[in-house]
Amino acid sequence: MLSKNSLALASALTITMPVALAMGGSPAPDDAAVAARIQPVAHVEVAGAATKVAGGNRSGEEMVKTICGACHGIGAAGSPKIGDKAAWAPRIGVGLDVLTKSATVGKNAMPPKGGAADATELEIARAIVFMTNQSGANFKEPTAGTKIASNDRSPEQIAQSACLKCHETGEKGAPKLSDKAAWTQRASKGLDALTKTVIRGHGNMPARGGLADLTDSELKATIAYLLKRVGAN
């Protein structure tokens, strides 16, 4: 049925059809019929779709040029700007897997997948590598078939990326790690009770320390790690 020329034909269609439409023409019925047959097989976006590059196998650079760069190129909406090492450093610390997950689900003003609903996990990861490697990271680009693991971050990585920005400095009234007395008093409630408080958030302490995808057990392990560092357990 579909010959191996189908893909070449399909990519020709993606280019010619929007042009035909832009010129005020409508696609010839034959073309439309062919396109309709090809579409489910070749996953090619045809008439009606914007002239963007089809989803599935875009390079990091393509992703960033067409999607992510709109914000990350200029630091729009409070996004970490490409090249801004200071803004990226704490994020890079959690590792590529966690960043990929975070960008996939979205975070505050960052929409899920940066708004590219059709982007694959691999494309998102490549885009992140492209941006962060210009911003102080040295990630290896994942290839097709690489399993992007989730939730394999250590308590130390979590603390580094999510908790220390307040708890090291005392920002927003957070109990500092150097303040053993403050922690000993809190620790007396027990680890489970502390974990519950942090899941909910408490005063200026954001729910889950601001890391929405943190699981309960990761959070508990991170609190245990902090208490150990303080010497309060």
- Note the residues at the interface with ligand HEC (CB under 6 A): 63, 67-68, 70-72, 76-80, 91, 99, 102-103, 107-111, 113-116, 119, 124, 127-128, 158, 162-163, 165-167, 171-175, 186, 194, 197-198, 202-206, 209-211, 222-223, 226
Token pair, residue 23, equals: 């010129």
Nearer to ligand HEC, 33 or 109 (CB): 109
CB atoms within 10 A of CB 140: 9
Reference 58, options 114, 9, 137, 139; nearest CA is 114
Residues 6+ apart with CB under 8 A from 224: 155, 191, 233
Nearer to ligand HEC, 43 or 172 (CB): 172
- Specify burial of residue 194 (Cβ count, 10 A radius: 0-12, 13-18, 19+): buried
Reference 43, options 56, 31, 52, 53; nearest CA is 56
Nearer to ligand HEC, 17 or 63 (CB): 63
- Which residue type sits at 142? P
Nearer to ligand HEC, 2 or 77 (CB): 77
Nearer to ligand HEC, 173 or 231 (CB): 173
How near is the Cβ of 224 to ligand HEC at its closest, in Å? 9
CB atoms within 10 A of CB 182: 16
Coil/strand/helix, residue 149: coil
